Structure 1
Amino acid sequence: MNPDNIRIVLVNTSHPGNIGAVARAMKNMGLSRLCLVAPRQFPDEQATWRAAGALDVLEQAMVCDTLEEAIADCQFVVGTSARERRIPWPLLDPRQCAGHIAAASSREQVAVLFGREDRGLTNEELKLCNLHLNIPSDSAYSSLNLAMAVQIVCYELRMLQVADDLPVSADQDWDAPFSTVANMERFYEHLEKTLVAIGFLDPQAPRQLMVRLRRLYSRVRLDEMELNILRGILTETAKHVPRDG
């Protein structure tokens, strides 16, 4: 994937604040090429204010009069669409589509088109696209803010870009080794002894207390440091238990 070959194209954006928010969304996800097709208000202080730390993306944005001009040098064009078409067109969700965008960007110029806030891209504009992208929002309220829609697509691209750097599991690079079975058994013995001593566990009618506590700690997966902390608490607790005689 080559982020420098991917441009986000906004068509006839009506609110300048949305342009600034899109610039910020792009920079969050490592994209920098913004193209504006006949924006209603730009430059504008609202765009600058909403861009926050992404002013460089805003200042470098290309402004074109027509969509054809904006994508003239592109080999692969994706259009975001919520429309149902009489003639079927390749339609993918952002995660599926991100793979196609990333692959194409390694050797081609790619454009991802976002339409007007109130009605999206026209049918004529969608005909210029190789693929259509649809964000499967809830049918009860399917309208997405422009910057949010851009953020979703850019996020999926970012995930592909950093895939090799992400941890393969939640346990990767943990700061202490996880406790061994033998040490956990010593902990359960210590726990049971302490619960009996403080009167919380009746050894004559234990019910399922220890089984449930085993299930609890097994689900959590304690590391050795956490286990030592818990055993230290048990030891200190036992010091406050009255001794017979």
Structure 2
Amino acid sequence: MNKPALPLESTDTYNDQIRIVLVETTHSGNIGAVARAMKNMGLGNLWLVNPSSFPDEASYARASSAADVLDRAQVVSTLDEALSECVLVMGTSARGRKVPWPVVSPPQAAVTAAEHSSRGPVALVFGRESSGLSNEELQHCHYHIHIPSNPDYSSLNLAMAVQVICYELRMHYLRGLEEEESSPYLDAMLVPGDRGWDVPPATVNEVEGFFGHLEQMLEDVDFHRRDNPRQLMARLRRLFQRAQMDQMEINILRGVLSSAQKAAGAREGVRGKATAARVVDEGQE
């Protein structure tokens, strides 16, 4: 029944201290989907409170390669059992309770969870698919987490809600690594010169050589006249400068220009031979 599972990313204390708690899940496939969402974000500590059905084929089928998260899952009868060792509890909830409760957004929940995880387990609690957490269950929570979804269609699938929270936990975790190790987990890679780009950026001289070559090619194919340039080269310069080309891209483009010039020269040679042939024929007449 169990599919082979990929190993968890790490046994990092922070990741292991974050406890995802599902209360009375109705559909076992959702448990598998939650396991997959957790493993996507490097988490693996899953607790199930009185699930309707688990373990079963549906949960493992939906988990895909996150079967190890299901293998490690703790199944308990009550929410109190799932929370007994925890130093902080946060439960997902919609706003609008009769008794206002401290409410945080998913990013704020991630920061708060990280701050408390060094002291002990932190529980993030998700309720039933149809009705969420009861008022009594929410009163077990230090904070409520509100996911600001579209008010006209606010209901989230259980695994989707878990994925949102786990993503924020992951982002906060990676930002911490960035500060400590300068690891490029979150760096954008947009242009040559950014960490991870495979080819160095083109130098000014290389780009200027390309522009000179481009202008000559355009003249060779009768598309551009140096004595009446209008704004053609200025606009082409603006276009290619926006691209922030690397050295390989410059070489490729110059190869294209050379091929175009060669093709234009070959056609010109054919036309020249045809003209000469006509002159000879006319002379023979």
TM-score band, normalised by shorter chain: over 0.9
- What value does the CA root-mean-square deviation take over the aligned residues? 1.8
The aligned residue for residue 212 of structure 1 is 235
Same amino acid, percent of matched pairs: 53
The aligned residue for residue 118 of structure 1 is 130
Alignment of 1:63 with 2:63, yes or no, is no
| TM-score between both structures, scaled by the size of structure 2 | 0.80
Inter-CA distance 36–177: structure 2 relative to 1 (3 Å threshold): same
TM-superposed CA distance for 1:225, in Å, is 1.2
Tell me, yes or no, if the aligned pair for 2:174 and 2:186 is still in contact at 8 Å: no
Deviations 1:137-176 (A, max 9, x none): 2223211111111111111111222332315331212112
Unaligned stretches of 5+ in structure 1?
none
The aligned residue for residue 168 of structure 1 is 187
In structure 2, distance between residues paired with 1:48 and 1:190: 60
The aligned residue for residue 147 of structure 1 is 159
Alignment of 1:136 with 2:148, yes or no, is yes
TM-superposed CA distance for 1:7, in Å, is 0.7
* Aligned mate of 1:183, from 174, 195, 206: 206
Amino acid at match of 1:184: V
1:42-53, aligned counterparts within 5 Å?
42-53=54-65
Deviations 1:47-93 (A, max 9, x none): 12111211121122111111111101111111111231233322222
Once the two structures are overlaid, the 10-residue window that deviates more, 41-50 or 82-91, is 82-91
| Bigger share in helix | 2
The aligned residue for residue 281 of structure 2 is none
The aligned residue for residue 194 of structure 1 is 217
TM-superposed CA distance for 1:204, in Å, is 5.0
The aligned residue for residue 7 of structure 2 is none
Alignment of 1:92 with 2:104, yes or no, is yes
Deviations 1:1-48 (A, max 9, x none): 611111100011110100011111111211111111111112221112
Amino acid at match of 2:233: M
Unaligned stretches of 5+ in structure 2?
1-12, 273-285
Higher relative contact order (CA 8 A, sep 6+): 1
| TM-score between both structures, scaled by the size of structure 1 | 0.93
In structure 2, distance between residues paired with 1:226 and 1:91: 51
Give the structure with higher Rg (CA): 2
Question: For 1:241, what is the secondary structure of its paired residue?
Answer: helix
State the number of aligned residues. Answer: 245
Question: For 1:31, what is the secondary structure of its paired residue?
Answer: coil
In structure 2, distance between residues paired with 1:112 and 1:136: 17
Deviations 1:77-114 (A, max 9, x none): 11111231233322222122111112211222100000
